Structure 1
Amino acid sequence: MPRSLLIVLDSVGIGGAEDAESYGDAGSDTLGHIAQACAEGRGDREGLRQGPLRLPHMVELGLGLACEASTERMPPNLAPQGAVRGAWGYGVETSKGKDTPSGHWEIAGVPVSFDWGYFPNTMPAFPEKLTTELIARAKLPGILGNKHASGTSIVEEFGAEHLRTGKAICYTSIDSVLQIAAHEEFFGLERLYEVCRIGRELCDEYKIGRVIARPFFGTPETGFKRTGNRKDFSTPPPSDTILDVLAQAGRPIVTVGKIGDIFAHRSTGREIKPNGNDACLSAAIDAMRDLPDGGFVFANLVDFDSEFGHRRDIPGYASALEAFDRRMPEIQAALQPGDLVIITADHGNDPSWHGTDHTREHVPILGFGPQVEPGSIGRRESFADIGATILRHLGVAGYSVGRSWLTN
């Protein structure tokens, strides 16, 4: 019985979508702009990487061709030099939003047709009712921040005051999110999680997609750094995803990285949550090696987004892409006859773009496996085609969202 592995390269978009202008993102192109920057020397960093962007394994699968199909431009150094051995194309998001839940839910067969709630870019950003109830129920001395901000800058701004007062640092962004930062030792990790659980309940009224715990450590003298114990408290998908369908069919499921959080731990099987791209990829490969027949591994690699996209770090992003590409042969070696691997993304986060937020982009779709027929799968009019293809490959019927590109 066939098996499948789905890897989401978080934020690796390949060109502004047709409606990008309405999001302020017309002209964004995460991968294309990274490749261009590397070709011009703006992707160089001493001790990290130098020269053009090198992704030979993904290029061999058709990555450059997918970029060209999306934008009508071939990014520097991504043109294939020989026969392409993967199924390649690009996906168009139909969901309202450019956030993590919208992208992942649509991939899994549940496009977001409703409007998320957002907090305004004002000071204060949060409704007084929300902050008053959060402070009272969580027994906080107060909150700090209460505005739109990047996660690293707001901890630097308020970290010392947080340690002095015990107040939680609360902030948001253009996404549908409430983020709560606190010192992992001084404030306590479990206490932070409990504050976020309360925040999750309070945010339901405002249709906020996620409440995110952002623990950090350090001192004002040494500086503050976020730890790997981030935890997302998401609202659950409004209808069954492919995870639910596979669970109902009794199929083995392994989810890696923040997939469990994104789907509110519903039908997410055995959850593995290491810290960092490398550790998550290792866990996904190990899970694939041990996966029973008919099983599914669903992995998210978040560092592209959290460590490099939001921080507008072009060399760091390029280096992370190259590190992933170097490990592609390990994925191939873990496969059995009949297996299908799909590599995609959930949105963009162009590190050359203004601001620090996600960008509304098409996403690459690369499929490969011992018996996968190479060639173009074209423009897919919804990310949901990915989920439909996985179900078709695994032989699970009775699901109508999305269109599989498999013909057998």
Structure 2
Amino acid sequence: MAKFVVVVLDGFGVGEMPDVVDIRPQDRGANTAVKLLDHFPLKTLPTLEKLGLMNITGLTRSRMQPSAIANWGTAKLAHFGCDTFMGHQEIMGTRPKPPLIKPFQESIDAIEQALTQAGYTTARITRDTLQLLLVEGCVVIGDNLEADLGQVYNLTANFNLINFDEVKQIGRIVRGANAVSRNIAFGGLIPSMDQVFNAIETKADKHGQQAYIGVNAPDSGAYDQGFQVVHLGYGVDALTQVPHQLHQVGIHTYLYGKVADIVQNETGTSYTSVVDTDQVFSLLLADLQQHEGFFCANVQETDLSGHQQDPKRYWSILEKADRGLAAVIDTLNRGDVLIVMADHGNDPFIGHTKHTREQVPLMVYSPAITGVQVGYRDTLADIGASVTDFFGAPQPESGRSLLAPLTFNLNPTESHDTE
């Protein structure tokens, strides 16, 4: 057995998707990587340079140059929008299904009916003529006010009054009764339900009409103590994804950071709620030195820097990741594979604080393979398909392995590193 490592530089896109004009016109001109390279032309990212970053971006003002030994390509987003959750589901081999965009008000009847039929007690909370659902007196369901409005519903629970397993069960019922992109069931040890009720807010649609109602998650107290969360995506079947498929052939999956929070990995090892970049790499390196299998790590702080529209912080996180990647490469043996990629863009110069719909880089490293272009892929799911192909596991729902050209160019009498 060997090691297959995927490191996701969250939000590190390499140029707007072809459909941006029609799908997300606010992202026209987005190119996270190129704009950062142009903004810091004298600074370098030596590991990413050797892995082929400049091969992907083309000419910039940066002093860095294309790499003759790099294996590189790009991938498009097959999921609607540019979402971290769906991006990672796609990476794990999911075929994205177009979700609805619908205010909670338009789904409340169907959700309430499903919960009532399952035996749960419900009530409605009204603010500004809009309504939320209260389940068993301790779980409030409504719009997520932090994401793109109408795409995510939240279930905010008080774990002093209900346990997380029961909240997950409620979440599964809610998930089956609506078709928006994501439902998030979470909560904490909140002193009083009044704190949750006092955090209820409404927001207007693009016409200025109050259309969305939900709980302001930070103000609710859910994050303060005992926080737990599960993300439930539309059309996501964990039994067709990489961790489950690998488990069928005895391969262990290790997840680090944001990917561990949002990808189901019940038979593997998941390091959840890890945001600090150095800690993500520390955990990853410790396991790489002791174990084999599939490893996937998310560097979330790049994405957070994009949300803050902070290029300086973004670059400093890239420098940390660059050092971490160099250390990862040092642990790899002949036959091991590393892929460095992203899940969408988050251009810190775009003029808004949300993700940007961009293609992502694919930088592939294996000690004995050099100079291969892995192509312009149509879906992030090609990564998941490559992982299962590598380990001889059943293929996931979607994707086409990119390993064939790499294997074809493998010369067993030669070995290369990134020098």
- TM-score normalized with structure 1 length: 0.73
Q: Secondary structure at the match of 1:234?
A: strand
Whether contact under 8 Å (2:238, 2:264) holds in the other structure is: no
Whether the 8 Å CA contact 1:234–1:264 is kept in 2: the answer is no
Q: 1:336 — aligned with what? A: 333
Q: Give runs of aligned pairs for residues 176-255 of structure 1, distance below 5 A.
A: 176-179=151-154, 198-199=170-171, 201-212=173-184, 231-235=229-233, 236-237=236-237, 240-255=240-255
Q: What is the Cα deviation at residue 191 of structure 1? A: 6.4
Q: Pairwise mapping of residues 141-152 of structure 1 onto structure 2 (< 5 A)?
A: none
CA distance in 2, matches of 1:144, 1:383: 41
Which moves more between the two structures, 22-31 or 341-350?
22-31
Report the alpha carbon displacement of residue 34 of structure 1 after superposing the two structures with TM.
2.5
Distance change >3 Å, CA 302–CA 59, structure 1 → 2:
same
Instruction: Give the deviation of 1:11 after TM superposition.
Output: 1.5
Which stretch of structure 1 is more off in the superposition, 130-139 or 375-384? 130-139
Q: Is 1:145–1:170's contact at 8 Å kept on the other side of the alignment?
A: no
8 Å Cα contact 1:118/1:174 also seen in 2? no
1:91–1:363 Cα contact (<8 Å) kept: yes
Which residue in 2 is equivalent to 1:321?
A: 318
**Structure 1 counterpart of 2:52:** 62
Check 1:79–1:134 CA distance in 2 against 1; reply closer, same or farther (3 A cut): farther
5 Å-filtered alignment, 1:350-365, equals 350-365=347-362
Aligned letter for 1:332?
I
| Counterpart amino acid of residue 399 in structure 2 | V
CA deviation profile, 1:51-108 (whole Å, cap 9, x unmatched) = x44312101111121122xxxxx33326327x44331111112233321233223222
Select 2:62's aligned residue among 71, 77, 80.
77
Structure 1, unmatched stretches of 5+, are 40-51, 69-73, 148-165
CA distance in 2 between partners of 1:190 and 1:146 (Å)? 28
Report the Cα distance in structure 2 between the residues aligned to 1:145 and 1:356, rounded to whole angstroms. 27
> Which of residues 10, 25, 28 is equivalent to 1:26?
28
Q: Return the match for 1:403 from 401, 404, 407.
A: 401
Aligned length: 360
Q: 1:143 to 1:323 in 2, by over 3 A?
A: farther
Kindly indicate whether the alpha-carbon contact (under 8 Å) linking 2:9 and 2:342 is maintained by their aligned counterparts in 1. Answer: yes
**Residue 174 of structure 1 aligns with which residue?**
148
Change (3 A) 1:144 1:212: farther
Q: Which runs of 5+ in 2 are unaligned?
A: 131-138, 196-217, 409-419
Q: Which amino acid aligns with 1:299?
A: A
Deviation at 1:270, TM superposition (A): 1.6
Q: After TM superposition, give the deviation of residue 143 of structure 1 in Å.
A: 8.7
Q: Distance in 2 between matches of 1:189 and 1:37?
A: 51
Residue identity matched to 1:254: Y
Q: Distance in 1 between matches of 2:371 and 2:6?
A: 17
Which among 363, 366, 372 is matched to residue 363 of structure 2?
A: 366
Aligned to 2:214: none
**Structure 1 counterpart of 2:10, which letter?**
D
Q: Distance in 2 between matches of 1:144 and 1:271?
A: 39
Contact in 1 for aligned 2:7/2:339 (Cα 8 Å): yes
The amino acid across from 1:317 in the alignment is Y
Q: TM-score, normalised by structure 2?
A: 0.71
Q: 1:350 to 1:337 in 2, by over 3 A?
A: same
CA contact (8 A) 1:84 1:375 kept: no
The letter of the residue matching 2:182 is R
**2:376 maps to which residue?**
379
Specify the alignment match of 2:269 in structure 1. 270
Residue 5 of structure 1 is matched in structure 2 by 5
Cα distance in 2 for partners of 1:330, 1:313 equals 26
SS of 1:243 mapped into structure 2: helix
Do the aligned partners of residues 189 and 384 (structure 1) sit closer, same or farther apart at CA in structure 2, a change above 3 Å counting? farther
Q: Say whether residues 1:37 and 2:39 are aligned partners.
A: yes
Report if aligned partners of 1:392, 1:406 keep a CA contact under 8 Å in 2. no
| Aligned-partner residue type, residue 7 of structure 1 | V
| Residues 213 and 397 of structure 1: CA distance in aligned 2, closer, same or farther (over 3 Å) | closer
Q: Which has the larger radius of gyration?
A: 2
Residues 234, 328 of structure 1: CA spacing in aligned structure 2 closer, same or farther, 3 A cutoff?
same
Q: For residue 201 of structure 2, what is the aligned residue in structure 1?
A: none
SS at structure 2 position matched to 1:342 = strand
Measured after TM superposition, the shift of residue 375 of structure 1 is 3.5
Q: What SS is found at the alignment partner of 1:205? A: coil
Residue of structure 1 in register with 2:84 after alignment:
100
The one-letter amino acid paired with 1:242 is V
Q: Shift in Å at residue 403 of structure 1?
A: 3.5
Alpha carbons of structure 1 residues 215 and 397: separation in structure 2 relative to 1, 3 Å: closer
SS in 1 for 2:62: coil
Which whole-Å CA distance do the structure 1 matches of 2:290 and 2:44 have between them? Answer: 31
Q: Which amino acid aligns with 1:108?
A: M
**What is the aligned partner in structure 1 of residue 212 from structure 2?**
none
Query: 1:71 — aligned with what?
Result: none
For 2:98, the equivalent position in structure 1 comes to 115
| Aligned partner letter, 1:56 | P
Partner amino acid for 1:271? Answer: S
The AA in structure 2 aligned to 1:116 is: P
- Give, in angstroms, the shift of residue 127 of structure 1: 4.5
- Distance in 1, matches of 2:230 and 2:40, equals 33
8 Å Cα contact 2:47/2:323 also seen in 1:
yes
Contact 1:180 1:213 in 2 (8 A): yes
Name the stretch that deviates more: 385-394 or 133-142: 133-142
1:366-396 deviations in Å (ceiling 9; x for gaps) = 1113223234223223222222333333344
The alignment partner of 2:144 has SS state of strand
Q: Aligned equivalents of 2:345 and 2:106: distance in 1?
A: 26
Contact 2:385 2:399 in 1 (8 A): yes
1:290 alignment counterpart: 290
Alpha-carbon shift at residue 134 of structure 1 (Å): 12
CA distance in 1, matches of 2:336, 2:273: 24
Query: Which amino acid in the other structure matches residue 33 of structure 2?
Result: L
